């Protein structure tokens, strides 16, 4: 091998290891004073570590993410085909016009599976289609005993979602690419379509710019009307996928569900925000998340027994762990938290990696029963009675000139810390004529991260270009800030936590539950460490790229919404406890035999008027439960 190439490889590998090591140098958040220790995000393990590595090897050393453009796989394939088709006189480059691929392994490994279709025309219910996250579309006609690969020649095998048209079972749409958690797992190339039940496929060229496709919904009466949730938003086609129109332009749209029997009523989940609802077939959408406060990914399920009953499995902290189960009784107009307690403690049913494995399924006969999970599987039955829990979310309204740092806090997708005195909704208002006095604090000279609250020294009472209002009680509130650059005023810098301390963007904001006085600072705040007195909310704003301070400030506000939401009583049991954390039921001991952990999809297969079985897609392929009125819940049921 050329020695210069070897040197290049060694240098690049060294940069990769530096990137991976740097990303793993992470600490845990405990209080506002230690938030700086969390700048790099939570420590990754399991699938997160794997994806971080692959992200690193695809990222240039001077960039923060891979720079491949949407559709690059199809463009490169076209170039390769064109090259292979050209005959050349030079024998070393002569081609027979065919691209040759040789399989190099691995062998006999059931791959991560996310997509499932149950063939509605098989009375035995044993014909299934399965989409492998890295291996294409497969079909079985005997309940999984043997499989046939339907997509050996597709240029992209990253099958995330499949949908069969109810009005024409020959039509199947396939969505590619994994964007879960916002990380580039396996990049997609848009969508493919089959009109002969998966035997042949055509690429829908109009989808390559939609990026990774997370979910597909087809009108039950019109196979040409299709709505998809992708990593760039919600898109709709009315001509079978030839052309598309974007109807919701948000990132993090990772789930999409239609109401059984009514394509017009649809629900889409946006990570860290909540649920959007459409009543016109996916054309217009409105936020429908009252009572929700998710921190990350959300998966949805609609009860076939009662279409107004909608469940949501979400990354969040309201239940006391990293997992929250929600239910709506009124078609997402409002949401309640479900008390998922197991063995006397709050259940982290997503296992700390709900961004990666997160799935939920309604019982087809009982609207009060739901199956769900992440690393493990659980079953919850709604009960009677409830308590209340406080919910907080942060809504940005036209604040395009600033960004909020995710420092791993418990609310608002990691950007908002809530104090003990937080009992009201608050608005931070910017724009013409908006200003008030604020308590200015400094930290010891040269300090950056990890500064204790007691080391915040009070300086003086100065004007800031915003106002803070308790909108619940219609009163103005006291506010404090950290003057990181020591210039005597509040000003936002572009995000930066490197270099000289005074050049770092750490002008933190602290809101206190104390009535505002325009002339006199609060005595309990105007002391060293007083910034946390009667603390309601704490957040870390920085200047958004392309803006200047303060000339870019616009009429806008940050709205921190406080809600006391119901927490419904329920009973939860294990279904599959992979690592014997709870009761060891259906424990994962023997690979290829026992239920594999890391679950991505659950589909009920109705077998009679009162019984069903469950098909489960996981990191270990597909698993099937017994047939019962309560399938999967006993040891050995899978």
In angstroms, the CA 638 to CA 631 distance is 9
User: What is the rounded average pLDDT of the residues 221-227?
Assistant: 98
Say which residues have a Cβ less than 8 Å from residue 469's Cβ, sequence separation at least 6. 426, 427, 429, 475, 476, 477
pLDDT-based confidence at 393, cuts 50/70/90? confident
Q: List residues bridging with 116 in a β-sheet.
A: 130
In angstroms, the CA 115 to CA 128 distance is 10
Where in 398-530 does DSSP place strands (E)?
A: 402-404, 417-418, 426-430, 436-442, 457-464, 467-470, 475-482, 509-515
User: What is the rounded average pLDDT of the residues 190-204?
Assistant: 97
In angstroms, the CA 145 to CA 142 distance is 6
Higher pLDDT, 603 or 95: 603
SS3 439: strand
pLDDT for residue 86: 67
Instruction: Enter the pTM of the model.
Output: 0.78
Lowest mean pLDDT segment, chosen from 180-184, 190-194, 213-217, 244-248:
180-184
In the chain, the percentage of residues whose pLDDT exceeds 90 is: 73
CB 117 within 8 A of CB 128: yes
CB 253 within 8 A of CB 234: yes
Tokens of 632: 């999967």
User: What is the rounded average pLDDT of the residues 364-382?
Assistant: 98
What's the order of all strands across the beta sheet hosting 191-194? 159-164, 172-176, 191-194, 202-204
In angstroms, the CA 213 to CA 249 distance is 14
pLDDT tens-digit map of 159-177: 999 999 999 999 999 999 9
Q: List residues bridging with 382 in a β-sheet.
A: 570
pLDDT-based confidence at 624, cuts 50/70/90? very high
**Maximum separation of any 2 CA atoms in the chain, in Å:** 88
User: What is the rounded average pLDDT of the residues 227-251?
Assistant: 96
In angstroms, the CA 18 to CA 350 distance is 30
pLDDT for residue 74: 81
pLDDT tens-digit map of 127-158: 999 999 989 999 999 999 999 999 998 988 89
pLDDT for residue 69: 79
pLDDT for residue 213: 95
pLDDT-based confidence at 107, cuts 50/70/90? low
What's the order of all strands across the beta sheet hosting 599-606? 599-606, 612-618, 621-624
pLDDT for residue 87: 55
Given a cut of 60, whether residue 4 has pLDDT beyond it is no
pLDDT for residue 63: 85
The per-residue DSSP string of 212-240 comes to SEEEEEEETTEEEEEEEEETTEEEEESST
Given a cut of 60, whether residue 10 has pLDDT beyond it is no
Given a cut of 50, whether residue 13 has pLDDT beyond it is no
Lowest mean pLDDT segment, chosen from 91-100, 301-310, 328-337:
91-100
In angstroms, the CA 622 to CA 447 distance is 53
In angstroms, the CA 501 to CA 504 distance is 5
Given a cut of 50, whether residue 112 has pLDDT beyond it is yes
Given a cut of 90, whether residue 544 has pLDDT beyond it is yes
φ/ψ (deg, to 5) at 435: -165, 160
């Amino acid at each position: 091998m050329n020695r210069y190439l070897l040197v290049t490889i060694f240098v690049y590998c060294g940069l990769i290891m530096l990137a991976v090591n740097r990303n793993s140098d992470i600490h845990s958040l405990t209080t506002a004073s230690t938030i700086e220790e969390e700048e790099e995000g939570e420590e990754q393990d399991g699938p997160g570590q794997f994806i971080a590595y692959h992200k690193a090897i695809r990222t240039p050393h001077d960039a923060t993410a891979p720079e491949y453009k949407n559709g690059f796989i199809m463009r490169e394939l076209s170039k390769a085909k064109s090259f292979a088709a050209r005959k050349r006189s030079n024998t070393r480059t002569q081609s027979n016009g065919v691209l040759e691929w040789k399989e190099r392994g691995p062998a006999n490994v059931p791959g991560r599976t996310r997509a499932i279709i149950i063939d509605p025309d098989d009375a035995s219910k044993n014909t299934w289609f399965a989409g492998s996250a890295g291996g294409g579309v497969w079909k079985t006609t005997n309940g999984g005993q043997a499989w046939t690969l339907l997509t050996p020649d597709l240029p992209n095998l990253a099958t995330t979602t499949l949908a069969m048209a109810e009005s024409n079972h020959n039509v199947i749409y396939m969505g590619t690419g994994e964007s879960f958690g916002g990380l580039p797992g396996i990049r997609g190339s848009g969508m493919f379509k089959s009109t002969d039940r998966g035997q042949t496929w055509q690429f829908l060229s109009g989808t390559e710019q939609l990026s990774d496709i997370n979910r597909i919904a087809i009108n039950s009466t019109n196979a040409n009307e299709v709505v998809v949730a992708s990593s760039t938003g919600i898109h709709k086609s009315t001509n079978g996928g030839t052309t598309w129109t974007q109807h919701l332009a948000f990132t993090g749209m990772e789930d999409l569900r239609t109401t059984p029997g009514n394509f017009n009523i649809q629900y889409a989940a946006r990570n860290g925000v909540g649920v959007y609802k459409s009543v016109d077939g996916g054309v217009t959408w409105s936020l429908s998340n009252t009572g929700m406060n998710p921190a990350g990914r959300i998966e949805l399920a609609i009860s076939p027994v009662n279409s107004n009953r909608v469940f949501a499995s979400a990354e969040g902290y309201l239940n006391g762990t990293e997992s929250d189960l929600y239910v709506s009784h009124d078609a997402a107009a409002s949401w309640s938290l479900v008390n998922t307690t197991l063995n006397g403690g709050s259940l982290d049913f997503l296992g700390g990696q709900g961004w990666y494995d997160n799935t939920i399924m309604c019982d087809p006969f009982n609207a009060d029963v739901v199956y769900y999970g992440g690393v493990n599987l659980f079953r919850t039955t709604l009960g009677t009675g409830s308590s209340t829990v406080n919910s907080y979310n942060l809504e940005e309204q036209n604040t395009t000139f600033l960004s909020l740092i995710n420092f791993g806090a418990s609310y608002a997708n990691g950007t908002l810390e809530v104090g003990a005195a937080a009992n009201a909704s608050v608005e931070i208002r910017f724009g013409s004529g908006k200003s008030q006095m604020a308590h200015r604090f400094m930290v010891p000279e040269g300090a950056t991260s990890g500064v204790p609250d007691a080391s915040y020294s009070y300086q003086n009472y100065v004007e800031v270009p915003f106002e803070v209002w308790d909108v619940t009680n219609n009163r103005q509130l006291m506010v404090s800030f950290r003057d990181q650059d020591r210039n005597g005023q509040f000003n936002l810098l572009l995000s930066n936590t490197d270099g000289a301390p005074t050049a770092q963007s750490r002008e933190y904001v602290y809101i206190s539950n104390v009535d505002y006085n325009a002339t006199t600072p609060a005595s309990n705040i105007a002391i060293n460490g007083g910034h946390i007195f009667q603390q309601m909310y704490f957040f870390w704003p920085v200047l958004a790229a392309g803006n200047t301070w303060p000339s870019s400030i616009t009429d806008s506000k940050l709205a921190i919404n406080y809600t006391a939401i119901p927490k419904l009583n329920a009973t939860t049991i294990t279904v599959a406890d992979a690592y014997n954390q709870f009761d060891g039921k259906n424990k994962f001991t023997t690979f290829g035999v026992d239920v594999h952990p890391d679950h991505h999809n659950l589909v009920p297969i109705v077998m009679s008027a009162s019984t069903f079985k469950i098909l489960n897609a996981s990191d270990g392929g597909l698993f099937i439960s017994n047939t019962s009125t309560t399938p999967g819940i006993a040891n050995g049921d899978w």
